[in-house]
Chains A and B, each alone.
Chain A
Amino acid sequence: MTTIISLMKQVPLPSQMRMGEDGLMDRTKAKSIINVDCSFALEAGLQLRGMMEDARLIVCSMGPPSFEQSLKTALAMGYDEAYLLSDRKLGGSDTFTTGLAISKMLRHLGFGRGLNEDFIVVAGRQTSDGDTAHVPSQVAENLDIPQATFIEDVQFKEGKIIARRIIEGGYQILRLPIPCTLSLTPTGIPPRRPSLAGAVRARSSQITIFSINDIDLAEEKAGLIGSPTIVAKVANIKSERAPIVMSTGADSKALVDDLIHSMKHGKNSLEAVVKKEAKAAVIPEAYETVDFRNGASGVLTWAEVASGKIARSSLELLTPAKKLASALDPGTKVRTVLIGSSLEELAQELIYHGSDEVIVIEDERLNEYRILPFAAIFEQVIKAYKPEIALFAATTAGRELAPRIGVKTQSGVTADCTALEIGVHVDNKKKVVYAPILESRRPTYGESKLATILGFVCPQISTARAGTFEVPLRDENRVGVVTPFVPKLGEKEFVTEILETVRGEGGLSSLFEADVIVTGGRGAIGDDMALVKQLSAALKEHGIKSEWAVSRPVVDLGLCEYARQIGQTGKTVRPKVYIAVGISGAIQHIAGMKEAETIVAINHNAKESIFSNADFGIVGEYEEIMPELIEAVKNGFVFGLDAK
């Protein structure tokens, strides 16, 4: 009988999250819920059982004893057994140690290579209090089993798993053997509510609690001590937008006319804020400087290829890569890994954009990205080239590949960074200075804070959020080296089959290149985004580069593809004009659009926080405002841009 193992985390309600002085999570004050993505995984497990003749359903978690309440909910939903790994020594675990600890627990429960291999691990894509999406990948690597992450639909057919995986601009259908690990996005089947009978059963069920000793996890491999990465510092993120200009008027037409009038006069401006010079860290002279690189050198990046082109986000990556290289030892090289077939031209492009050396792996089987062979290739390349830093774009591929590699190299990963710099780390306890070190900065706690993460094992691996960095200027005079690399790949790397790859219209590039983006939120779904699309189309008629997009709830509701999602877990865009329709302005969304030159917000609720993050606003029903606005555009209003 197959066992379905659901990994679940309990998280504080996102709105009630607080952080302790030490930069670690303070869970004591917030109300707790099952992490939303995990709840979709719980449901996926139940759905999978429905497709099998029979299955045993177990749920596992790691955290304080208070997690029992969520495990009970899982039992009430229909899970058969629940296990909790709970030990004070696990406090402060980073994703690397978390992945290791959970894998140890699963092995202790009898699952893994050489043990019972008839199991499927289902997990949430990521947690709302971490947002890294690392753990499922890391569990898969630790257990040495295949994986499929960012899954929105999963089926069990003829002894295998068929999974629909979100990729940039579309999706992919994968067939995986058992055992495997799956991570679920909140776009599939929402979690069922427990039945009363289930709740009654759960009430009398026991939850087994393990300590690290029980699962044979060494103390030095657990918690803060075992973590290769640390949170070095956390800073507040402040808004830099001037107060909004609100339209006034008696009806929709008057409101839109007033908007047009206001936009002619321009937006409010902030009084110049004098920025404080950042104080340089004072380093006591007595401190010894530690160079932990052990001879590792160079910045390695991955050039993701989609539809025969290098993904824009991979080109963007060369900007921080070059900057980091120049801040390191003289002669530090930027090397880029390029995998696929007929790669000559693409390799040249990478050199034109800033790569010093392109490591090319030609293999027809690898025209589409596949996690197992790619992870194996990186392991071999890293062994051969010993880079000190490895960077990946935080695409759905990069976000699963980097953590899998991070387990192989024992170095951990920092997810979804928006700034990458070379700095120093002063350890006052050990009285040493670690330098040079990669400072990876990432927004956290719903984008309200910027955390700086450090890793002490090379390569220091980070993923960078798409759209954060500019694509470097193309320079055909740049020269570089193209080096073929022949990896050793076995059958084992190809057990997962790609059955279908679909990339829709409006993938990555058009959103990044648009001058106007019209984005519809939860408050604009009444007409299936028709008005949002119409406004964008009307602008296109005038020769304006316009695109439409959505916020996360719209994707979560299954009304739009993930590729069009703007925000923390979607894309970061910086158009000239951003028109937010029916968007509440959750901080995660603001993160993806706050760099827009001008932001126009339309919402029926004047209290929504979008109005604190926009330049121009109209309060009204979008069904009534939008037709007027579209009419105005048809009559020549193009938000102050140049019509062609």
Chain B
Amino acid sequence: MHNTNTLTTDVVIIGAGPAGLSAAIHLADEFQKIGESKRIIVIEKGNSIGAHILSGAIIKTDAFKELLSQEEFDNLPFDCEVTEDTTFKLSEHGAFALPFHPPVMDNLGYKIASLCQICRYLATLAESRGVEIYSGFSVNELLYENNTVIGVKTIDTGVNHHGEKQKNFQEGTSVFASLIILAEGTRGTLAKQLETKFHLSQNVEPQVYSLGIKELWSVPEGTIKEGTVYHTFGYPLKREFGGGFVYGLKENKVAVGFAVGLDYEDPTFDIYKVMQVWKQHPQIATILKEGTLIEFGAKTIPEGGWKAIPKLYTNNVLLVGDSAGFVAMPALKGIHLAVTSGMCAAKTAVLAFQRKDTSETSLSNYKALIDQSRIRSEMYPYRNFRAVMSEGMVVGALKFGVQLVTNGACLLTPKLKRDNLTLQKITEFHDTPFAQRFEGKLESDKKLTFNKVTSVFYSGTQHDEEQPVHLQIADMNAFREINMKQYGTACQYFCPADVYEEHHDREGNLSLKIHAENCVHCKTCDIKAPNSAITWMTPYGGDGPQYQNM
């Protein structure tokens, strides 16, 4: 007798981040304007809203002004306003404050915030508009009819390690929707499937990513003023693209983070450890040395820029936010673009519903709206930024200087390579290997620097152990021969959460242990593993980190 396991809705949005929630809010507003009543469902894999949200975050607020009423805007839970903004070039022992930085990288007047908190707030605004939000549900599957997406399905639960149904098996719910908005964030599982099936990235540059690691600290009174922003480049990086940030927050909190482009070459390179080395630099250590770690998290950032944006729509589907690659470089800001893309998607959707036509043709209007929006005006001029930076920060900086004058045009722009193609084999890599490069700085003191497992604890991560491993390796033999033997099990280094462990038994046999329960959902492995050998699938809903104020 008991109730079918299907739902029907007008719109389903996958992911309750800034893009998904903005789409939901604006959809509700726009439908209300024209007196239409449509069902809008948002599905979020985090245990609660914000649990899987991580960002710096310095926010350009203009997009929120467009999205919200004045009163709602005034109540946005920003932490503080940026009052001081300095960029440092670090050497191993010293720091040089740049006298100026390109205006595009200036942050004065912007707001510092925890994006977790912002999203929690946006969720209440969406719900007050009648949007239904369900957190703790994972979606791994698009539903098709005649090769057209007609919905999504949440994952089956009550399945053991080997994929066998258990007595508490619960089949996933099929959600049939006229329109599906993919707002999964960076390297979305469904977005990836869709791109592959419909070749959405066919005519664009490959998307490239950085891995960003963030820590939230509590420091003694007077250590750093709220609103103080430092960005660093240089040490500990050499050729690699990336740098660190320090944001002074209210109540003696400070957010520190480090992001590195995943196009590096050393198979033993370890971004988590780079951040630990960076924290030992006097410029940073001074701020943190008397403090205590409160929270830890990691996430990748799509930074391929304008040229890497895939086709943004197909029949019944729109891509928004990080899932579409809307991140403005070199400022590395995507939140306001996520909001804008959500609004563009909402406008497109309302028009499509009025026409009763959500086909690709009807949705193509989305691209036009994006082109008219700040997404293009902020991304297009820097379309070649990331590509020149892949040549190293010195050459890159010179070429970027040229682009600032030419509105982004650049001679000799190299082609971006997928991040999983840049890694060199152990035998091919001839530069100083990672361990040697940072010798003496890789031990954790458990005060300023930590190990990965300890940090994972500070992310609140947990996973049900009774489920199929969500990090899928299709061909274990090939993985052992290529990824482990040739690339030295690079995943044990690039994963910031100690998910991958190389294991040698007493007979000397090599095997991989996957500690899936540590996974903080950053998706680096899906991006960086040579041969695309690892596929990141969503585990059970509610599993993963429990970010509070990331």
Contacts and interface: CB of A to CB of B under 8 A. Distances in A.
B416 to A, nearest CB: 38
Interface string B1-12: 111111100000
A195 B173 contact: yes
Interface stretch (B116-124, B162-170, B192-200, B272-280): B162-170
A195 B167 contact: no
Contact of A192 (B4, B43, B168, B542): B168
A203 B3 contact: no
Given A78-B2, A196-B134, A197-B7, A189 B154 contact: no
Interface in B1-46: 1-7, 41, 43
Contacts of B5: 195, 197
Given A192-B168, A192-B169, A197 B3 contact: yes
Nearest to A40: B168
- How big is chain B's contact interface, by range? 20 to 34
A201 interface: yes
Contact of A197 (B1, B167, B173, B542): B173
A198 B157 CA distance: 13
A191 B168 contact: yes
A193 B540 CA distance: 9
Nearest to A621: B503
Interface in A79-116: none
Contacts of A605: 453
B434 to A, nearest CB: 23
B132 A196 contact: no
Contact of B157 (A54, A192, A197, A607): A192
Given A78-B2, A203-B132, A607-B454, A196 B168 contact: no
Nearest to B154: A196
Contacts of B169: 192
A84 B171 CA distance: 29
Contacts of B171: 195
A326 interface: no
A357 interface: no
A200 B137 CA distance: 12
Interface residues of A, number: 20
A349 interface: no
B167 A196 contact: no
Interface in A183-227: 189-201, 203
A193 B158 contact: yes
A259 B7 CA distance: 61
A196 B172 contact: yes
A43 interface: yes
A16 interface: no
Contacts of B41: 200
A195 B172 contact: yes
Contacts of B168: 43, 189-192
Contacts of A201: 3
A189 B168 CA distance: 7
B134 A195 contact: no
A201 B2 CA distance: 11
A195 B132 contact: no
A47 interface: yes
A110 B157 CA distance: 35
Given A191-B168, A203-B132, A196 B175 contact: yes
A47 B540 CA distance: 21
Contacts of B158: 192-193
A524 to B, nearest CB: 15
A199 B132 CA distance: 11
A199 B134 contact: yes
Interface in B409-454: 453-454
Contact of B132 (A191, A193, A200): A200
B7 A200 contact: yes
Contacts of A195: 5, 154, 170-173
Contacts of A197: 3-7, 173
B305 interface: no
Given A196-B43, A199-B134, A189 B6 contact: no
B220 to A, nearest CB: 25
Interface string B161-192: 00000111111110100000000000000000
Nearest to B466: A190
A198 B170 CA distance: 10
A96 to B, nearest CB: 34
A189 B173 contact: no
A198 B134 CA distance: 11
Nearest to A78: B2
Nearest to B158: A192
Candidate in B4, B137, B168, B454 with the most chain A CB atoms within 10 angstroms: B168
B236 interface: no
Contacts of B157: 192-193
A313 B274 CA distance: 58
A43 B166 CA distance: 12
B541 interface: yes
Interface in A216-241: none
Interface in A41-79: 43, 47, 54, 78
A198 B5 CA distance: 8
B271 to A, nearest CB: 23
Interface in B141-156: 154
A327 to B, nearest CB: 48
Interface in B388-410: none
Interface in B224-258: none
A196 B136 CA distance: 9
A130 to B, nearest CB: 25
A195 B6 CA distance: 10
Nearest to B167: A189
Given A43-B168, A47-B167, A189-B168, A196 B173 contact: yes
Nearest to A624: B506
Nearest to A54: B1
A13 to B, nearest CB: 11
A411 to B, nearest CB: 39
Nearest to A190: B168
Nearest to B2: A78
Contact of B170 (A54, A192, A200, A203): A192
Contacts of A78: 2-3
Interface string B32-64: 000000000101000000000000000000000
Contacts of A196: 7, 43, 134, 137, 154, 172-173, 175
Contacts of A191: 168
A214 B132 CA distance: 33
Interface string A167-195: 00000000000000000000001111111
Nearest to A73: B136
Interface string B322-345: 000000000000000000000000
Interface in A11-63: 43, 47, 54
A137 to B, nearest CB: 26
Contacts of A189: 166-168
Interface string B451-477: 001100000000000100000000000
Contacts of A198: 3, 173
Interface string A353-391: 000000000000000000000000000000000000000
B89 to A, nearest CB: 37
A47 B41 CA distance: 30
A626 to B, nearest CB: 12
Contacts of B134: 196, 199-200
A15 to B, nearest CB: 12
Candidate in A193, A197, A605 with the most chain B CB atoms within 10 angstroms: A193
16 contacts: A47-B167, A78-B3, A190-B168, A191-B168, A192-B170, A193-B158, A194-B170, A195-B154, A195-B172, A195-B173, A196-B7, A196-B134, A196-B172, A197-B6, A200-B7, A203-B132
Q: Which 3 A-B pairs have the closest CB atoms?
A: A196-B173, A192-B168, A193-B157
Given A193-B541, A195-B172, 12 more contacts: A189-B166, A196-B43, A196-B137, A196-B173, A196-B175, A197-B6, A197-B7, A198-B3, A199-B134, A200-B7, A200-B41, A607-B454
